[in-house]
């Protein structure tokens, strides 16, 4: 795809002014890093505050009394009982129990806001319209930007602009005015750190971004550090760690399926692939997602096969790279469930050469979400 054919976010001018290296991502020109580079951007986010442009992601508004119940037909989550002012991680499943997409669902009182992955949003929008149009109004919000402010000092910075955000705890959402912009804000993110995601009108995004970057603790962060941060936090990337052929149980995401939607629950099943997923919750799976600690300095990348002590292929790496906060390479992947216990010794084939790895508990870096 040529640069002229790429879509841009409302912060494109600012990215170029800041010297971003722009790359194609999900049809958009997106900053992979700025002048400091990925390593420094990653560590800055862990120590202070990073500002991410995630406006390429899809924002979809569902309105109507039947919206929550309708969405439950497509996702094995408890949406109907989610109170206003709260957010939930959710999965859209297919008839084989695989994951069509993972997303965030926020309840803003008179509407639900869905934030879906950029690479999936066209398919998600078509799917939602086909399945839910008779039950609720579906509005694709093309005129809004999305910023993520992440790091241990994120609340310190944002309360200077709007003291009200200090009242939010992890997975709370609210409509708050920040820098003269009417924002929909959640206390959440994709780094494992405390932080916020801020949806606001596209024409207000650059002003707010500049206000935030004017704070001493804040620097702009690209997709490169976003990826290494989420890997350290043990968070899945759609199309890599999860996809349409991976079930939530295989992906170690069973925690996201509430009891009310499981066997014996008041609203058990009723979503695509329910029989397969509910059976896996009861009976287990043949493979599952695990963390992998690399022994040595050689990075282990996506696609590397995993072998056991006999040389038999027992799994595959889905994400991997150097973890700046850990100081060594780490990875995630799928292994036979019998080998999924932390401490299990395996090898990854890197350019046909075996590299020792050890199954590790996730996350690699403790989550620091603010729970009050």
Per-residue model confidence as pLDDT tens digits over 293-337 = 999 999 999 999 999 999 999 999 999 999 999 999 999 999 999
Q: Beta strand pairing status for 287-294 and 328-336?
A: antiparallel
pLDDT at residue 133 in the model: 96
Domain segments of the chain: what residues?
3-55+143-232, 286-362
Is the confidence at residue 125, as pLDDT, over 90?
Answer: yes
The rounded distance, in Å, linking the Cα atoms of 368 and 83 is: 24
CB 115 within 8 A of CB 103: yes
* Alpha-helical segments (H) within the chain: 12-17, 38-47, 67-72, 121-132, 154-161, 202-213, 223-232, 274-283
The rounded distance, in Å, linking the Cα atoms of 22 and 30 is: 5
The rounded distance, in Å, linking the Cα atoms of 293 and 330 is: 5
Closest CA to 232 of 33, 43, 1: 43
Record the tokens describing residue 181, joined without a space. Answer: 């912009």
Per-residue pLDDT band at 211 (split at 50, 70, 90):
very high
pLDDT at residue 271 in the model: 98
- Segment 175-187 mean pLDDT: 96
Is the confidence at residue 2, as pLDDT, over 70?
Answer: no
Distance of CA 332 to the CA centre of its chain: 15
- Segment 32-42 mean pLDDT: 98
Find the range with the poorest average confidence among 2-6, 241-245, 346-350. 2-6
Would the pTM of this model clear 0.75, i.e. be above it?
yes
Domains 3-55+143-232 and 286-362 fall in the same CATH topology: no
pLDDT at residue 31 in the model: 98
- Segment 56-65 mean pLDDT: 98
Q: Which CATH architecture has domain 3-55+143-232?
A: 2-Layer Sandwich (3.30)
Q: Which CATH class is domain 286-362?
A: mainly beta
Average pLDDT, the chain: 97
Q: Is 98 helix (H, G, I), strand (E, B) or coil?
A: coil
- Segment 155-180 mean pLDDT: 97
The rounded distance, in Å, linking the Cα atoms of 53 and 29 is: 11
Concatenated DSSP letters of 161-220: H-GGGGG--TTBEEEEEETTEEEEEES--SSSSSEEEEEEEHHHHHHHHHHHHTSTTEEE
């Amino acid at each position: 795809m040529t640069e002229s054919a790429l879509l841009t976010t409302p912060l494109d001018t600012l990215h170029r002014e800041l010297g971003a290296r722009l790359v194609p991502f999900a049809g958009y020109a997106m900053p992979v890093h700025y002048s400091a580079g990925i390593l420094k951007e990653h560590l800055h986010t862990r120590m202070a505050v990073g500002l991410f442009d995630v406006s390429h992601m899809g924002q979809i508004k569902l309105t109507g009394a039947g919206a929550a119940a309708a969405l439950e037909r497509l996702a094995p989550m408890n949406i109907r009982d989610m109170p206003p002012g709260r957010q939930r991680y959710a999965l859209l499943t297919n008839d084989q129990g695989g994951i069509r997409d993972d997303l965030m669902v926020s309840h803003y009182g008179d509407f639900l806001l869905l934030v879906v992955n950029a690479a999936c949003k066209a398919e998600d929008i078509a799917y939602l319209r086909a399945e839910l149009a008779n039950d609720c109004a579906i509005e694709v919000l093309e005129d809004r930007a999305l910023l993520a402010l992440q790091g241990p000092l994120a609340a310190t910075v944002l309360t200077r602009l709007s003291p009200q955000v200090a009242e939010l705890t992890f997975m709370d959402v609210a409509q708050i005015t920040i820098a003269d912009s009417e924002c929909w804000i959640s206390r959440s993110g994709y780094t494992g750190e405390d932080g916020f995601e801020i949806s606001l009108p596209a024409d207000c995004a650059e002003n707010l971004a500049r206000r935030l970057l004017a704070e001493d603790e804040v620097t702009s962060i690209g997709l490169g550090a976003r990826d290494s941060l989420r890997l350290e936090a043990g968070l899945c990337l759609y199309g890599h760690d999860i996809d349409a052929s991976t079930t939530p149980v295989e992906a170690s995401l069973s925690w996201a399926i509430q009891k009310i939607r499981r066997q014996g629950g008041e609203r058990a099943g009723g979503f695509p692939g329910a029989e397969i997923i509910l059976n896996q919750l009861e009976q287990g799976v043949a493979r599952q997602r695990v963390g992998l600690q690399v022994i040595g300095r050689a990075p282990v990348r996506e696609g590397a096969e995993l072998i056991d002590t006999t040389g038999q292929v027992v799994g595959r790496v889905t994400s991997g790279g150097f973890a700046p906060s850990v100081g060594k390479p780490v990875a995630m992947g799928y292994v036979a469930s019998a080998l999924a216990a932390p401490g299990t010794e395996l090898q990854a084939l890197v350019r046909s050469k075996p590299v020792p790895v050890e199954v590790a508990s996730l996350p690699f870096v403790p989550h620091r979400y603010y729970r009050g």
